């Protein structure tokens, strides 16, 4: 993917869209001090370049009955392509896993897990995850609080 240069207006557009993804182009244009047509062109450029990959709703998982969120680290016994594929195919069948991260270091994967309660988490780990092919070790961390960390202009690398 090619990196594109972003100016302060582009960064402001991204910042606003992260907080208010359903904002109209007219209101967005007003907030970044542009007329609607140039604002729309910038937005289209950000979408077509892959900077903006989609739009979505933030869901309150507790309101859906999922009171426990956890990060579960996994170390595989072996990392042959076949073993990794078998593991990944198996975790794709587990609806409790909402995100899978391949990581560097002494661990292989970090899984974000969403379940209704601690009993369901226990069953997921002992009867589900630890039974999967290639799983040598797991560690579980309960998520006590999540804070949204939107992308801000100060966190972006400088453009040339």
Residues 98 and 35 in one domain: no
Residues 76 and 130 in one domain: yes
HSE (CB half, 13 Å, CA atoms) of 131? 8
| 30 — pLDDT class (breaks 50, 70, 90) | very high
Could you tell me the pTM of the whole model? 0.76
Residues 102 and 51 in one domain: no
Residues 90 and 113 in one domain: yes
Domain at 47, CATH number: 1.10.10.10
Which phi and psi angles does 91 have, rounded to 5°? -70, -25
Q: Does the residue 48 lie in any domain?
A: yes
Under 8 Å between Cβ of 128 and 72: no
Domain carrying residue 122: 61-142
Residues 129 and 65 in one domain: yes
Residues 50 and 114 in one domain: no
Residues 79 and 26 in one domain: no
Residues 89 and 127 in one domain: yes
Number of domains in the chain: 2
Q: Does the residue 159 lie in any domain?
A: no
Map tokens 């244009």 to a residue. Answer: 29
Least confident range from 85-99, 103-117, 138-152: namely: 138-152
Q: Maximum CA pair distance of the chain?
A: 58
Tens of pLDDT, residues 15-29 = 899 889 999 999 999
Tens of pLDDT, residues 38-92 = 999 999 999 999 999 999 888 888 898 999 999 999 999 998 999 999 999 999 9
Q: What pLDDT does residue 152 have?
A: 62
Q: Does the residue 42 lie in any domain?
A: yes
Mean per-residue pLDDT of the chain: 90
């Amino acid at each position: 993917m090619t990196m594109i240069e972003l100016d302060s207006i582009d960064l402001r557009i991204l910042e606003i869209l992260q907080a208010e993804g359903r904002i109209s182009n007219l209101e967005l244009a007003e907030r970044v001090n542009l007329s609607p047509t140039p604002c729309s062109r910038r937005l289209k450029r950000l979408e077509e370049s892959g900077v903006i990959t989609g739009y979505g709703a933030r869901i309150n998982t507790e309101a859906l009955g999922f009171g426990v969120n956890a990060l579960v680290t996994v170390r595989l016994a072996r990392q042959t392509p076949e073993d990794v594929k078998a593991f990944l195919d198996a975790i794709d069948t587990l609806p409790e896993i909402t995100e899978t991260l391949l990581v560097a270091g002494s661990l292989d994967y970090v899984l974000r897990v969403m379940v209704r309660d601690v009993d369901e988490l226990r069953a997921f780990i002992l009867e589900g995850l630890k039974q999967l092919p290639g799983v040598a070790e797991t560690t579980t961390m309960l998520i006590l609080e999540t804070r949204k960390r939107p992308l801000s202009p100060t966190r972006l690398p400088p453009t040339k």
